[in-house]
A and B are shown apart, each in its own frame.
Chain A
Amino acid sequence: MVAPSRNIYSVALFHWKSLIIYLHFAPTLNVEIDFFEGKLIGLCHPYFGMEAVAVGIISALRPDDPIISTHRNHGHAIVRGVPFKDLMAELFGKVTGTCKGLGGSMHAALSIMHNIPVVTAIVGSGIPIACGIGLALQYRKEKRIAVVFFGDGAVNTGAFNEGLNLAAVWRLPILFVCENNYYALSTPFYRVCAGESIASRGAAYGIKSFLVSDANDVISVYSAARKAVEHIRSGNGPAFIECRTYRMKGHGIYDTGWYRPKEEVEEWRRKDPIERFMNKLKIRGILDDETIRRMEESIEKELEQAIEEAEKAPVLDFNELWDLLYVEGEARYGEWR
């Protein structure tokens, strides 16, 4: 599916539906309540408050540009169009999920069909893997680019530094997107990141770098993304965008984010990406309250159906796990043979 027009507002509107889904993800289906009532268990790292980054970046891509994502992947999945029922079933650990229930929330976005081939929960690990994807694209002389998302926590890992350096020296077609939401779990980035900014680290490797200081504005993110993508697709090597945004909730579903100053949280709440973008679209007459209401209704229905189907779906048979280990070869061992 290609966005209908190059006008930023039309393009963004195309993804607006995704944003609205996201707006409703948690409150409508009460994800948190589901977790605490035991319907959903395990780790879950919501994307609340960061929606402008997913929409702004992914709107500037081709639908077949491979995306490498992280444990905080729900926003990427939704904007890319991974069906809601497949994501929900994965969160419920059912066989109808994107990963047959074997990955859960942290890997739910992984969908080859939607060109999200890597969703990894080890901080920083997506970066060297993205180098391999970029290498394959370069080797085959393709026009596609690889796009790897990671947080502020990733930029101090060895993997990040090895990957950036390699991508720069081999001029790999990769867009590095740092979703700097100011905290790696409870650790503020300015306490652990040396240097003037995260974007300057890209520049240190000679990579064309952008700093979007208000990445809660869809248009700012989108503009930077367009420039970065153009640079890469023209064969100029990788690019790097640092997006400064904020988590509206804690690191994970069990974390309230109590370690963050209340004034800081309030300051970012006032910059809510969805509200701001909605207003921009209303002012330009692209959206009106009635249209918004109808969209929200249909999306709520879609969501409720996804939950219903997920609750009813079966779990994979344990014995089938062995068949997933190797493409070919006997995985069964000892008493499991």
Chain B
Amino acid sequence: MESGVRELSYAEALREALIEEMRRDDRVIVFGEDVAVYSVYKVTKDLIDEFGPERIRDTPISEAAIVGTAIGAALMGLRPVAEIMYMDFITLAMDMIMTHAAKMRFYSGGQIKLPLVIRTEYALGRVSAAQHSQVLISCFLQSPGIKIVAPSTPYDAKGLLKSAIRDDDPVLFVEAAMLYRTRGPVPEREYLIPIGKCDIKREGEDVTLVAISRTVPEALKAAEELSKEGISVEVIDPMTIQPMDYDTIVRSLEKTGRLVIADDSVKTGGISAEIAAYISEYAFGLLKAPIIRINSPPLPVPFSPSLERQYMVDYKKIIAAVKKLLGKC
């Protein structure tokens, strides 16, 4: 590793982001279920030792109150980072996020700003069964006004969480539990990653492969395998789901003319569906082939580990889809 860069896990990178932002700005406070004393994925582990019980608080099991409290505190000028332990639990706070956080600035005529962050994670892949594995990101596309960020690497996670905390708009920050232990290079010096811009994780010429969160490493593995067969895949990680940077995707399609989208949403109305519809409507002329989406099937997640593995998006499914698209099956 070059000097000034060390290897951190995704969870450690997030924790570092929280520490740096809390040291920098005492308006940043953290609360949620089991974040102060305990920490399910160790992201908030021991923060209370440095920052004290006023700034790191355990809440009751009250998702609506957790998000409502984030809204009220942000309104008063604090910069709360609230945690929803599993994305499945976010449904208990849908009113607060969609009907309030996303809309207050608008219906107040711009009088209000809500610099809040809601951190959550989806545990698909951790054998947690149907009620603890949902990927509900695309539900929030129906709620304009809330920004949505979903990093896939430790580097991205740290830079984006810092940006999310500094952003004056409400941000839903979606982590993937299967990524918490993945490791990657993270510089020691401070850096931010802007919200609202795609990251081209691998350049290529033949196919544009858009992947989100947990499916990004699968996409990169697929691209590596395909390159051995002479197929050059450009892997784009949007990182920000709302507002989506479509310009980068369109520029890539100007090169490749072929689009494959992989994400852990269920196929019906997932993030891939939105991207596919957008490109089909606004960039149809660039396409040489239909758009292919690789998603979870529209079924609840089965518990049995081998069934769950069959359920999930993986690099093999991506390879098969790309080959089919290129007529090389």
Q: Chain B residues near A130 (CB, 8 Å)?
A: 68, 72
CA distance A99 to B80 in the complex (A): 25
- On whether the beta carbons of A100 and B72 are closer than 8 Å, the reply is no
- On whether the beta carbons of B105 and A327 are closer than 8 Å, the reply is yes
**A1 interface residue, CB < 8 Å from B?**
no
Say yes or no: A128-B67 contact (C-beta < 8 A), given A120-B100, A136-B72.
yes
- Tell me which residues from 107 to 149 in chain A have a Cβ below 8 Å from any Cβ of chain B: 107, 110-112, 117-118, 120, 122, 125, 127-137, 139, 146
Smallest CB separation, B115 vs chain A (Å)? 8
- On whether the beta carbons of B108 and A99 are closer than 8 Å, the reply is yes
- On whether the beta carbons of A169 and B60 are closer than 8 Å, the reply is yes
- On whether the beta carbons of A159 and B65 are closer than 8 Å, the reply is yes
Q: Chain B residues near A170 (CB, 8 Å)?
A: 57
Smallest CB separation, B101 vs chain A (Å)? 10
CA distance A331 to B94 in the complex (A): 21
**A248 interface residue, CB < 8 Å from B?**
no
- Tell me which residues from 90 to 106 in chain B have a Cβ below 8 Å from any Cβ of chain A: 92, 95-96, 99-100, 104-106
- On whether the beta carbons of B65 and A163 are closer than 8 Å, the reply is yes
**A81 interface residue, CB < 8 Å from B?**
no
Most chain-A Cβ atoms within 10 A of its Cβ — which of B60, B99, B107, B145? B107
Q: Chain A residues near B196 (CB, 8 Å)?
A: 329-330
- On whether the beta carbons of B107 and A125 are closer than 8 Å, the reply is no
Smallest CB separation, A162 vs chain B (Å)? 4
Smallest CB separation, A63 vs chain B (Å)? 16
- Tell me which residues from 34 to 66 in chain B have a Cβ below 8 Å from any Cβ of chain A: 54, 57, 59-60, 62, 64-65
Q: Chain B residues near A100 (CB, 8 Å)?
A: 109-110
- On whether the beta carbons of A132 and B70 are closer than 8 Å, the reply is yes
- On whether the beta carbons of A137 and B65 are closer than 8 Å, the reply is no
- On whether the beta carbons of B105 and A329 are closer than 8 Å, the reply is no
- On whether the beta carbons of A324 and B62 are closer than 8 Å, the reply is no
CB-based nearest A residue for B61: A162
CA distance A42 to B33 in the complex (A): 40
Q: Chain A residues near B312 (CB, 8 Å)?
A: none
- On whether the beta carbons of A134 and B243 are closer than 8 Å, the reply is no
Q: Chain A residues near B95 (CB, 8 Å)?
A: 122, 125, 159
Most chain-B Cβ atoms within 10 A of its Cβ — which of A128, A139, A166, A325? A128
- On whether the beta carbons of A136 and B65 are closer than 8 Å, the reply is no
- On whether the beta carbons of B167 and A111 are closer than 8 Å, the reply is no
- On whether the beta carbons of B111 and A112 are closer than 8 Å, the reply is yes
- On whether the beta carbons of B107 and A331 are closer than 8 Å, the reply is no
**A102 interface residue, CB < 8 Å from B?**
yes
**B71 interface residue, CB < 8 Å from A?**
yes
- On whether the beta carbons of B78 and A139 are closer than 8 Å, the reply is yes
Which of B68, B99, B108, B144 is A325 in contact with, Cβ under 8 Å? B144
CB-based nearest B residue for A166: B65
Q: Tell me the count of chain B residues lying within 8 A, CB to CB, of chain A.
A: 48
CB-based nearest B residue for A127: B68
Q: Chain B residues near A220 (CB, 8 Å)?
A: none
Q: Chain A residues near B12 (CB, 8 Å)?
A: none
Say yes or no: A326-B65 contact (C-beta < 8 A), given A98-B109, A139-B29.
no
Smallest CB separation, A127 vs chain B (Å)? 7
Q: Chain B residues near A146 (CB, 8 Å)?
A: 72
- On whether the beta carbons of A329 and B243 are closer than 8 Å, the reply is yes
**B221 interface residue, CB < 8 Å from A?**
no
Q: Chain B residues near A163 (CB, 8 Å)?
A: 65, 68
Q: Chain B residues near A110 (CB, 8 Å)?
A: 107-108, 111-112
CA distance A102 to B112 in the complex (A): 13
**A97 interface residue, CB < 8 Å from B?**
yes
**A165 interface residue, CB < 8 Å from B?**
yes
- On whether the beta carbons of A133 and B108 are closer than 8 Å, the reply is no
**B248 interface residue, CB < 8 Å from A?**
no
**B76 interface residue, CB < 8 Å from A?**
yes
- On whether the beta carbons of A118 and B145 are closer than 8 Å, the reply is no
Smallest CB separation, A101 vs chain B (Å)? 7
- On whether the beta carbons of B109 and A103 are closer than 8 Å, the reply is yes
**A158 interface residue, CB < 8 Å from B?**
yes
CA distance A71 to B80 in the complex (A): 27
Smallest CB separation, A331 vs chain B (Å)? 7
Q: Chain A residues near B167 (CB, 8 Å)?
A: 327-328
- On whether the beta carbons of A328 and B169 are closer than 8 Å, the reply is yes
Q: Chain B residues near A117 (CB, 8 Å)?
A: 75-76, 111-112
- On whether the beta carbons of B65 and A325 are closer than 8 Å, the reply is no
CA distance A159 to B69 in the complex (A): 11
- On whether the beta carbons of A326 and B111 are closer than 8 Å, the reply is no
**B77 interface residue, CB < 8 Å from A?**
yes
- On whether the beta carbons of A334 and B78 are closer than 8 Å, the reply is no
Say yes or no: A324-B105 contact (C-beta < 8 A), given A125-B100, A132-B75, A136-B78.
yes
- On whether the beta carbons of A125 and B169 are closer than 8 Å, the reply is no
Say yes or no: A325-B69 contact (C-beta < 8 A), given A117-B112, A136-B77.
no
- On whether the beta carbons of B76 and A162 are closer than 8 Å, the reply is no
Most chain-B Cβ atoms within 10 A of its Cβ — which of A117, A135, A158? A135
**B281 interface residue, CB < 8 Å from A?**
yes
- On whether the beta carbons of A103 and B108 are closer than 8 Å, the reply is yes
- If A102-B106, A326-B105 are given as contacts, then 11 extra A-B residue pairs at C-beta distance below 8 Å, sorted by A number, are A99-B111, A103-B109, A112-B111, A118-B75, A130-B72, A132-B72, A135-B69, A139-B73, A163-B65, A327-B167, A327-B168
12 interchain pairs (CB within 8 A)?
A: A99-B109, A100-B109, A110-B112, A122-B95, A132-B76, A139-B29, A159-B95, A159-B96, A165-B62, A327-B105, A327-B113, A331-B144
Q: Which 8 A-B pairs have the closest CB atoms?
A: A132-B72, A128-B68, A100-B109, A136-B76, A162-B65, A99-B109, A162-B62, A327-B168
